Amino acid sequence: MKKRESKLWLRIKNLKLKGQIFRIESNTINGIPDIYYLKNSKSIWIELKSNQDKNLGLSKYQINWHIDHFKNGGQSFILLQDLLKRDLKLFKSNGTRDVELVAQGKDTEATLILFFDKMTWERGA
């Protein structure tokens, strides 16, 4: 799975998005998302998932990180690349173990760009 997520990251990096975007790789903070994105004073964390099953595949550490972040006023998302359906889904953390689907579309560059715009539009981002 990590290799697929790395490929998704490279696609995102090549979009040349405005703002600052970083890949985070940490062995010290359990559950921290894969990407930090800062645009127009809006701080956004994004977990990348690339799989073939209906489950997002979040670990208990990732779930807890998103819950704590939300409770402290932060905004975070999960970007799922569904390999079976060949589409992308964007979920938003809502402070519980459940996540909210906020966007879905074909797995294309245009969809990725729209999703990153959507993240900056979300209230509280």
pLDDT band, very low/low/confident/very high, at 55 (cuts 50, 70, 90): low
Q: Which range, of 8-12, 50-54, 74-78, 88-92, averages the lowest pLDDT?
A: 50-54
Model pLDDT for residues 23-41, shown as the tens digit of each residue: 998 778 889 999 999 998 8
What CATH number is given to the structural domain containing 90?
3.40.1350.10
Residue 49 contacts residue 79 (beta carbons within 8 Å): yes
Walk across the sheet containing 20-23 and list its strands. Answer: 20-23, 35-39, 42-51, 75-82, 87-93, 99-106
Model pLDDT for residues 82-112, shown as the tens digit of each residue: 888 889 999 998 888 889 999 999 999 999 9
Q: What single-letter amino acid sits at 73? A: G
Mean pLDDT computed over 8-37: 91
- Domain of residue 76 covers 2-121
Domain count, the chain: 1
Distance CA 50, CA 19 (A): 24
Decide: pTM greater than 0.75.
yes
